[in-house]
Amino acid sequence: MRNLGRFMASDTVMTVDDLRRFMVEVFPQVHRDFTVVSVGPMTASVRLEVGERHLRPGGTVSGPAMFGVADVSMYVAVLAMIGPEALAVTTNMSIDFMRKPEAGRPVTAECRILKLGRALAVGDVLLYSEGVDSPVARAGVTYSIPPGRGARDARAGARSGLGDRADPV
């Protein structure tokens, strides 16, 4: 399987600490649910600290909670590349639930950005339940990026010789 690293030419512009502070400021209702674990060029890892409010009968983690951590992981990955742009919003998420998560265990979302365009960012996310190797869910996520903030992909292409043509979005 091809190594995606060859197109991840740009560095992050926010650290894990920057992102944690940003989450506390901008999302006071939910920042405690989510721990930013790590970020790298075009990648991020976020953990959902599973609590009672995230559970369904039998202790399984709810769909909305899984959606939430997948969504936050993409948001964090994008902001790590473009800076603290609070107006980036989800336009589409497609999520497949593949296995039942372990009762009451944290869920970690590992995101990779596949395209960081001028107006849209597209990525995918694998969700893991602590203690189980196989991903419990997978998501495709698309974010819209406000004008002026999304040009990283073209610049990355120029530096590394990827030859990315200007995308219409």
How big is the CA angle at 22 (ends 20 and 24), to the nearest 5 degrees?
70
The pattern of x and - marking residues 18 through 57 that bind a second copy according to CB under 8 A reads --------xxxxx------------x--------xx-xxx
Please tell me the distance from the alpha carbon of residue 97 to that of residue 112, in angstroms, as a whole number. 18
In single-letter form, the type of residue at position 78 comes to V
> Is 146 a residue that touches a second copy (CB under 8 A)?
yes
Burial of residue 16, with CB atoms counted within 10 A of its CB: 0-12 exposed, 13-18 middle, 19 or more buried: middle
Cα torsion 32, 18, 27, 71: sign:
negative
Q: Which of residues 18 and 120 has its CB atom nearest to a second copy in the complex?
A: 120
Binding stretches for a second copy (CB under 8 A): 1-2, 4, 6-7, 26-30, 43, 52-53, 55-57, 62-65, 67-68, 71, 86-87, 89-100, 110, 112, 114-115, 117, 119-120, 122, 124, 126, 128, 132-135, 138, 140, 142, 144, 146, 157, 162-165, 167-169
